[in-house]
Structure 1
């Protein structure tokens, strides 16, 4: 591919910028990887820069592998594309023996064993969660270049809060360094510290390294921490051939020491820098982009103007199509409106999401193109359960690494053995050869086991290996088993994993850098997003950015959901996330300007699907499509819907609004539940659930059964007026429920 071909004006301006300082402010989905690969290829093929003189640095092995692959196809093979730590390890392994006269100490990949020993020495007994927090705290201190003796002061200055008091953490941190030194090992941050120190303290090392690497590219520059910036400065020296790319709106790792300050201050550090802002979003539909923009527009002025420093220093950039404060401009055709789901409890929310996923799968959306994203990992359990019950395969991101899974390692060993014994004139292509080999492990194409269990996961992992072989055969028809095994070895070394079929379950932090056709953002309640310990303005701003990252992962379908209680039947005391108000306004504006369908909050009762059309939100529900506790429609606009009849307390007759309207009585009025009817309803529900092979709440929730036992509806009109009884529930269960109410009343009159 010719470097620069098919680029938009802003991307081309970044590619053709002079050698020297370049800052690319790249919004989500604006093609930043495409831009920097074209720039690097342009330097190599058009400006005669040696490929080996360029060092491109990013934050994940996956991103580095993708960068290398694209550059290879563009004729720029030989460019070093690595993570910060991988590059530092390479340099230190070469220079350390010459500087210290001994081999580089062994790298300890996990801090946990060392911290356990340090905790024992400090007479501490942290549990698993506390140990995780301590690992994070040591990582933060080292990334900020804070020594144990300075930790207490630094922790106070940065408002660090954890499981232990700062002086205790400082003592543990000091013990950790002692234990590490006695074991003669390094951790990942030591790699960076020693690399910077060796370059800074030995001029011959700096001269040799800088003569090799003359041009630098840094991806995701908003995530750089002070220690990484120090290493970058050591590599760069007094030169200025540095291209950085990042998005200040995706700064979500401040807890690790990352800061967008380096990105935003770039024009001040390099006054002659070329600054280009990419705003054309090629990933997401206008409906998704509108929500992302609306979320940022709702930020307080101080947070919203965070990017002004970089923007004001722009020189030589192309004239971008500017939205408010440089927000994204959608380039894709219109798609479905974002959808909203309010549920009474987390299990019902998860069940509603699973139903919607089942609907997407039925329309042809691949499971691997669907993700459920949440704020904290503990939220995954409800969705694992709901997807398993719905017989939908899923993958929990952040678990065991792909190439370390037993079936994958066994398959790779088998394929290596097959290379040694392969017949040179064997008929069929690479895909057939790999399929035959995997067959020895019991794998057969098109024979996926039913359900979600370990057998299905094993089959999917082997299927992913087969797809890699098919893809390699398509790209290189002459590729054989030996070439495929070599490709697998390179992927394993850089953790460049294939796509495995299954719905992705991941935290918002783990989703950074990824994208899917359909994204479900779940658990959007106060205390979870924003997280309960986010108190300062900057912490709240980062929670907003985290949600922005989640929204911009979606290409076409986007669903947002929340539940009013954690457990089924519990008091519905949760408040939807404060960020939802900004999102609703953005969705309403987008719908009004594009003529798209209205957005509406669908209740998660029964079989109601997440709907973007505003229909099916629950017949007769006084709160359907209404913001809880207020009079604003979920779909935007002000005031209550026209023609809505006022809801009155069935005990005292007073007018009701919000949550009390849904229940049908004042909080202070007694609600007498018919105990016998409630018990009979529960028994009936259990039987129906058993017949359907579904959880009991899928039939009717505890809250709905209590209302039936309290209100004792005698007619269809009475029944459909209750929350949780939509048309589908009425059709399925209405006759049974009314018969139970009538029969219980008759039994009571006879006694």
Structure 2
């Protein structure tokens, strides 16, 4: 098929056209939010192929998620260049390692471990440490950070002390020893982990010139998306892939660097021209996503920051953003619910609206307010508040306390969570240990509010109230407003966005003590603001419940027009060093944190690649559809998509293995277990005998 080069350039703005026609030597593209970076990247590849600047079969386009890689492939097919290889770093590295390992070492590449937490648990036992879930997850996250940052177990203590890294209160020496045990456990089991995929590929290229030469003959031209998120390990592998070639184009936005805790280093993007003095640098500044009013606020948030481009809005004018305070968190949440209800009445669909917060423990106030207002909602990046394991455990403990004489509901709740490990003072650092504490602290706050409003109530009444809330908010109805952490919202956009909790101690978060950490919090706020296409509401509250210590609007709102609640200065607080890099569960593919219920069912991120038999997936969906139609139930009530996908990927061979999948309890196992196993048996794995 002949591609008209001029037709490829049609419709590109001047900056996008500059990217598309910069076909030789190193190129760095700084692409602001909503400026069409994917369009520029794909048109550059198509134009280069059309004019003969490179062979598309020799192009490797690298991304960080399978969703982004799939989007690149789809657009490239539409532009007539399907031969370009668009893959994640790990996918490209795994293919190469599996292909070359037998030649280089005489045996197959060791398999990638399916259950990383089991390896970490063994390492913790060897060190004599507990294997509670929160510590497991935090330790797994720190191991991942160390490996992508090229930090060895022996070097970890010194580097962790220098960078103020903490893991659930454990010493840096303990963490370093656990890391060494972890490597020994892997070796004993004959497996590798997700980061080892990159390390194995890098080792092959560094130690075997013949392998490096073959790879470099195959791939002559490289494109890297979201380059601000590259880790030292990924950069090292990219350098090994390139060899002495400068035929590389990197695209990213340093103003959206929000994953430093996981090993991302924006310095590779911001320092690109220093490492490549001959590089062409192009900025994409025309924002096609947001109205001029939203863009103006985003620019104000990042004003004076050298890493940020000044966006230029291309959409028609829209409503001015609302930046407003409230007297309490419940009042703030109720006002957000009222705002969303008004937008829906004016025609904005529920699923085109989002509420974004800094940490998941902020969600219960919004779940309650939306449920009370009859607004359907879904959660992203976490379960609903009352679905979290630590909250369910606290309610069970409270039920036990309610049977005994107690001094009052708030005291009963405090006693219940204290028995689970809650303390009045929060743990140092972030990670799932801190997140668990925040959930319990939120429950304590709810108990205090309940006792204040119901002075004669007992623990049983509090339990009934919390169970009522859980029942009302347990399952979203239909397509609803998205509740999400700011981190989980990156890469998404909605017509209307409420960024909430923008007060000192909330955003920036209380643990952000160094200037670098505060600047990352500012970038996180910027990411939240730039998710909005048309309607934007930024809010904070001057107290948690209308009384007690007062707090001020975030420093990030300085210079912005605000209304309602006055700005109150906070008393000085002591700097708190460091933070953990872990999230609240671990992906079986990439080893990074998981937080949503759907991801935990799959044991992987929704964007991480996993083997899937499409015929089996369709057969399972067809079976579910038949059961739903026969029973008069919605399909998701039979089995959710996440549960069904976990079944398709993990292929359980018995009722016991099926029951181990989250979402298949005793009742569903009894109702559907034999049918699901029959569908699986009728679609054996492709490599089955």
Q: Aligning the two structures, in what range does the TM-score lie when normalised by the shorter sequence?
A: 0.5 to 0.7
**Does residue 394 of the first structure (1) align with residue 372 of the second (2)?**
no
Counterpart Cα distance in 2 of 1:138 and 1:219? 25
Where does residue 585 of structure 2 map in the other structure?
none
- Choose from 134, 139, 142 the match for 1:134: 139
Counterpart Cα distance in 2 of 1:517 and 1:452? 26
Contact conserved, 1:374 with 1:507, CA < 8 A, in 2?
A: yes
Unpaired runs of 5+ residues, structure 1, are 308-324, 401-450, 461-500, 585-599, 602-623, 631-751
Measured after TM superposition, the shift of residue 563 of structure 1 is: 1.7
Where does residue 320 of structure 2 map in the other structure?
337
Measured after TM superposition, the shift of residue 326 of structure 1 is: 4.2
Counterpart Cα distance in 1 of 2:290 and 2:110? 47
Q: Deviation string for 1:693-730 (max 9, x for gaps)?
A: xxxxxxxxxxxxxxxxxxxxxxxxxxxxxxxxxxxxxx
Structure 2 counterparts to residues 33-52 of structure 1, below 5 A: 33-47=38-52, 49-52=54-57
Counterpart Cα distance in 1 of 2:240 and 2:107? 23
- Choose from 197, 201, 214 the match for 1:195: 201
Where does residue 173 of structure 1 map in the other structure?
179
Structure 2 counterparts to residues 646-685 of structure 1, below 5 A: none
Larger RCO, structure (CA 8 Å, separation 6 or more): 2
CA-based RMSD:
2.1
**Does residue 375 of the first structure (1) align with residue 358 of the second (2)?**
yes
Contact conserved, 2:551 with 2:568, CA < 8 A, in 1?
A: no
Contact conserved, 1:394 with 1:452, CA < 8 A, in 2?
A: no
Structure 2 counterparts to residues 440-589 of structure 1, below 5 A: 460=478, 501-566=479-544, 568-584=545-561
Count residues with an aligned counterpart. Answer: 477
Where does residue 117 of structure 1 map in the other structure?
122
Counterpart Cα distance in 2 of 1:65 and 1:227? 23
Measured after TM superposition, the shift of residue 171 of structure 1 is: 1.2
Where does residue 349 of structure 1 map in the other structure?
332
Counterpart Cα distance in 1 of 2:325 and 2:64? 36
SS at match of 2:302: helix
Counterpart Cα distance in 1 of 2:109 and 2:382? 30
Contact conserved, 1:391 with 1:452, CA < 8 A, in 2?
A: no
Measured after TM superposition, the shift of residue 77 of structure 1 is: 0.8
Q: Deviation string for 1:146-200 (max 9, x for gaps)?
A: 1101101111232323321101111111111111222222111100111111011
Measured after TM superposition, the shift of residue 452 of structure 1 is: 7.7
Counterpart Cα distance in 2 of 1:155 and 1:53? 40
Where does residue 99 of structure 2 map in the other structure?
94
- Choose from 252, 255, 261 the match for 2:258: 252
Contact conserved, 1:110 with 1:187, CA < 8 A, in 2?
A: no
Measured after TM superposition, the shift of residue 101 of structure 1 is: 2.1
Instruction: Return the TM-score normalized by structure 2.
Output: 0.66
Counterpart Cα distance in 2 of 1:359 and 1:156? 51
Contact conserved, 1:286 with 1:330, CA < 8 A, in 2?
A: yes
Contact conserved, 2:550 with 2:568, CA < 8 A, in 1?
A: no
Unpaired runs of 5+ residues, structure 2, are 384-470, 571-689
Structure 2 counterparts to residues 76-87 of structure 1, below 5 A: 76-87=81-92
When Rg is computed on C-alpha atoms for both structures, the one with the higher figure is: 1
Distance 1:132 1:525, change over 3 A: farther
Counterpart Cα distance in 2 of 1:399 and 1:113? 22
After superposing the two structures, state which structure 1 stretch, 185-194 or 351-360, moved more: 351-360
**Does residue 156 of the first structure (1) align with residue 133 of the second (2)?**
no
Contact conserved, 2:125 with 2:131, CA < 8 A, in 1?
A: no
**Does residue 295 of the first structure (1) align with residue 273 of the second (2)?**
no
Counterpart Cα distance in 2 of 1:505 and 1:88? 35
Q: Deviation string for 1:579-633 (max 9, x for gaps)?
A: 111333xxxxxxxxxxxxxxx53xxxxxxxxxxxxxxxxxxxxxx4654579xxx
SS at match of 1:106: coil
Where does residue 271 of structure 2 map in the other structure?
265
Counterpart Cα distance in 2 of 1:565 and 1:127? 34
Measured after TM superposition, the shift of residue 55 of structure 1 is: 0.8
SS at match of 1:561: strand
Q: Deviation string for 1:667-700 (max 9, x for gaps)?
A: xxxxxxxxxxxxxxxxxxxxxxxxxxxxxxxxxx
Structure 2 counterparts to residues 587-736 of structure 1, below 5 A: 601=563, 624=564, 626-628=566-568
Where does residue 661 of structure 1 map in the other structure?
none
Q: Deviation string for 1:531-583 (max 9, x for gaps)?
A: 111111111111111111111111111101112222x3542522221111133
Measured after TM superposition, the shift of residue 386 of structure 1 is: 2.2
Counterpart Cα distance in 1 of 2:240 and 2:95? 15
SS at match of 2:490: coil
Q: Deviation string for 1:420-459 (max 9, x for gaps)?
A: xxxxxxxxxxxxxxxxxxxxxxxxxxxxxxx9877765xx
After superposing the two structures, state which structure 1 stretch, 133-142 or 109-118, moved more: 109-118
Contact conserved, 2:541 with 2:565, CA < 8 A, in 1?
A: no
SS at match of 2:550: coil
Counterpart Cα distance in 2 of 1:533 and 1:625? 25
Distance 1:46 1:391, change over 3 A: farther
Q: Deviation string for 1:61-96 (max 9, x for gaps)?
A: 111111111111111112111111111112112112
After superposing the two structures, state which structure 1 stretch, 390-399 or 372-381, moved more: 390-399
Counterpart Cα distance in 2 of 1:40 and 1:536? 41
